[in-house]
A and B are shown apart, each in its own frame.
Chain A
């Protein structure tokens, strides 16, 4: 009995020892659905490589890359100077896709809500506490707003979504910038914290009068109404894949890819958009690193055609081509 068992065990283990290169990566949760689709598609034609990506968070991804426990990292926010210094080699930021942070709300009203940066900041600062506040009414003349309290829902956990959202609020409101600032975890003036995008989605869905920020896919998949935000060109734009791509198009030719693209100029732009990056170490090439580069080349070309069905925006073609140069 025992010998049979050990024989089975050995056989099971033996089936796993053919030469497959295994690559590990860690980082942001935001692009996880996209990356898992990419890795699966890539694996179909490249059976000798297995990519294992785990979404432990942007900060986690950066730390694991520095500690060299993974082969590549992924982050929504670019690495800070002090983290770059800690790494044993330079790290390249390769943007892969774009995403939007939408502002979802739960309110029984006859029409879609419009807001602008200043008002949004005021709501999240706690300066505006009722839905029928004059400032909101002014932006929505056709909508009858009720006299209910606004419940602000934000993230309990540190997240790249928060950092993009706070980046936007800091850009459009000096009061927010001085009082709260930018970051993945913040000292929020008001509001309750829910864990993860799905937590915020659930809370907003269940609570009348609530407002919260979530990645676009969550709002769309759960049929949450989203705010149309005023962009720099003066238009009120609901979040959409096109609106996000246009944000990236506004990036100047020689600007760094790690630059922020919130509140970008141009028509049709959705103001809360951002890149998500893969962090590529610049060191002597290991088998794993070679495979990562090969994959990235595929992701920046063929992979870009798969983004829209998952509600991510593809990179502008010029940027993708520029990045292909970087990877060499």
Chain B
């Protein structure tokens, strides 16, 4: 075989392996989602979304409290951690030198590796014990600690790869540095940044361990931030480990709903970004 043929062969083999990799990676997704759907579809009715849990043996009963709870907790966590994470990521990519920056980078690396249960224990010691009670606030704080490093890391990586000349152009136009960062660097790459944020939120929405000792779980719906709050992962966990078929099927249905919610947030945010940039273009056009 000539050298050229060998190179061509390597090329084809490489392409084949890429296709294979894609299939291998996507296979578990379809397996899992179809399995969850198969196990839980029978329990997905209107009751599931609107009703509160019924004890075992009684037909009906749903996870309304848990669905609302998850949205609530994720919202609290996002409010705390997304701005913080974005700012930290911006700090690391734009002002990456110096002691504080190195320490921050290091801290973020460490925080990504903390098991979620330890984060839960930390939030428990920090908030639950002094206030002598489980609360949605504690759960939100625990989830925010999970979201923060992921947002920061991905923001940093994405912003670092923007060519320097864009920033220089902004500065050359006479803008203060902070405007360059906010309006040009960040705004211009909003969709990429949102990807990172979404990844973090998806992870937080599905976590059980940090919520066990913080938001605790609740059989009822409560909007108060200082009371225990139900959440889908905890509720799924409680039902999945029970011996009763009815509850177990509801657990799978809950898992399906959780996956759907997370996906929904994902798609919605992308849509919003698209709409945002569309509006911008329309405005420009009119002028």
Contact = CB atoms under 8 A, between A and B. Distances in A.
Query: When A and B assemble into the complex, do they touch directly, with CB atoms less than 8 Å apart?
Result: yes
Interface of A: 12-13, 16, 22, 24, 26, 29, 32-33, 36-37, 39-41, 50-56, 60, 67-70, 196-199, 201, 215, 217-218, 220-222, 309-310
B157 interface: no
A36 B55 contact: yes
Contacts of B245: 221
B37 interface: no
8 contacts: A13-B223, A24-B133, A29-B241, A33-B247, A37-B56, A39-B55, A39-B219, A196-B241
Q: Is the interface of B mostly helix, strand, loop or mixed?
A: loop
Contacts of B212: 56
A16 B100 CA distance: 45
Interface in B101-121: none
A40 B243 contact: no
Given A13-B224, A24-B228, 10 more contacts: A16-B221, A22-B220, A52-B219, A54-B216, A55-B238, A56-B212, A69-B128, A198-B242, A198-B248, A222-B243
Contacts of B195: none
B55 A40 contact: yes
B217 interface: yes
Contact of B223 (A12, A33, A69): A12
A67 B129 contact: yes
A4 B217 CA distance: 30
A220 B58 CA distance: 19
Contacts of A29: 241
B243 A221 contact: yes
Contacts of A50: 219-220
A16 B224 contact: yes
B15 interface: no
Contacts of A217: 243-244
A71 to B, nearest CB: 10
Nearest to A196: B241
A197 B243 contact: yes
B94 interface: no
B248 to A, nearest CB: 8
